[in-house]
Amino acid sequence: MELQVAKQKQPSLRKKPRLTLSPEKSPFLYLLPLAIFMGIMVVYPVGRVIYLSFTQNLLTRPDLGIQFIGVENYITLFTSTEFWSTVLRTTVWTLLSVGGKIFIGFSIAWLLSKNIGFKKLYMLLLMIPWVTPMVVAAVAWRWLYDGQFGMINYILTQVNIIQEPIIWLGNKQSAFIATAVTDIWIGVPFMAMMFLAGLQSIPVELQESANMDGANELQQLFLIVLPVIKPIVLVATTLSAIWTFNSFGVIWPLTRGGPVDATQTLIVEAYKRSFGSFDMGMGAAIAVVIFLILLFFTVLYKRLLMKQEEM
C-alpha cells in the first residue's frame, strides 16, 4: 500500500506537446513570404493596370484627375479601325517571325544532328544571337540596315544585286520584313536547341528499322521524326509565339513603330499611348487586351503540355 501511495504522489513525467513549425503542419507560414512577394510584384501591378483601364487618366491634364469611366476605353478601342489594323499587323508579324524561326531552327537542328565536322564550333556560334541582349542586337541590325552606310547595302551592291542603296527601314514593306528578320535571328537559337534535343531523343532503333525498310530521308522526316518530336514542336512554338507577340525590344530600337505605323504592334501602341500621348487609361486598356491574348496562349500551352504528358 505504501508503495502504491508513493507512486501516486510522484509527479507526472508526461511531456507537454510543443508547438512545431514544420512544413507539414504549418505550410502557410512558410508560403507567406512568397505570397507577399507575388502580391507586391504581380498581383498589385496587374490589378492596378486593370483598374486604370477603366479610368480616364491624362497626365497632360492633371487638373482632371483620375475619373472612373467604366468600359468606355474598351468601346473606343473595339470600335476603332486603327486598333483592329494593329491587331492584324501584330498577328501577321508574329506568324511571319515564328514561322521563320521554326523553319530555320529545324533546318539547323537537322544538320547538327548529323555527323558533321566542327559541330561544337557551330553550336557555339549558334548561341551568339541568344546570349546577345535584345536591344544590343536590334541596334546592331539597325546599323546593318542603314541606307547609306549599312553593310547589307554594301554587300548587295558589290555583288550587283542592287544598283542603288535601299533604305530598308524607311519603306513600309521592307521595314516590316526587316524587323521580323531581326526577331528571327534572335529567336532561332532557342528553336534550334529545342529541336536538336528532340532529334537526339529519337531511338536509334527506329531510324535503323526505317533504313532497313528502304525509307529515304524525306520519308523518315515525315513518318518518324516529326511524329516523335511533335510534343517539343508544340511547346517550342507556343512559347515562341508568346514571346514574339509581346516583343518590344526589337521593334522599338529599329523603327519605333514606323514608318507610318507599318511596324506598330500592340505592345508598341500601348507604350506610345502611355508614354507618348500620356493617356494612361487607354494605354492600360491596350495592355489588358495584350494580357488576355497572352493568357489565352498560356492556357493553350498548358493544355497542350498536359495532353502530351497523358499520351
Locate 299 and state its grid cell.
492556357
What confidence score (pLDDT) does residue 23 get? 59
Q: Report the amino acid identity of residue 124.
A: L
| Measured CA angle at 246 (ends 250, 147), to 5 deg | 20
What confidence score (pLDDT) does residue 138 get? 94
Residues, the chain = 311
Evaluated on CA atoms 149, 153, 158, 163, the torsion sign reads: negative
What confidence score (pLDDT) does residue 15 get? 52
By C-alpha distance, which of 183, 169, 305 is closest to 244?
Answer: 183
By C-alpha distance, which of 171, 177, 197 is closest to 95?
Answer: 177
How far apart, in Å, are the Cα atoms of 286 and each of 61, 291, 308?
A: 20, 9, 33
Extended strands (E) in the chain: 55-56, 67-68
What confidence score (pLDDT) does residue 5 get? 46
Tell me if 238 sits within 8 A of 290, measured CB to CB.
no
Buried b (16+ CB within 10 A) or exposed e, 116-154: eeeeeeeeeebeebeeeebeebbeebbebbbeeebebbe
Q: Name the DSSP class of 213.
A: T
By C-alpha distance, which of 288, 300, 298 is closest to 77?
Answer: 288
Locate 278 and state its grid cell.
500620356
**Which parts of the chain sit beneath pLDDT 70?**
1-26, 308-311
The CATH topology of domain 55-310 is MetI-like fold (1.10.3720)
Q: Report the amino acid identity of residue 230.
A: K
What confidence score (pLDDT) does residue 3 get? 46
Question: If you write DSSP's letter for every residue of 136-204 in order, what string do you get?
Answer: HHHHHHHHHT-TTT-HHHHHHHHTTS-SS---TTTSHHHHHHHHHHHHHHHHHHHHHHHHHHHHHTS-H
**pTM of the predicted protein model:** 0.85
- For the chain, the structural domain boundaries read 55-310
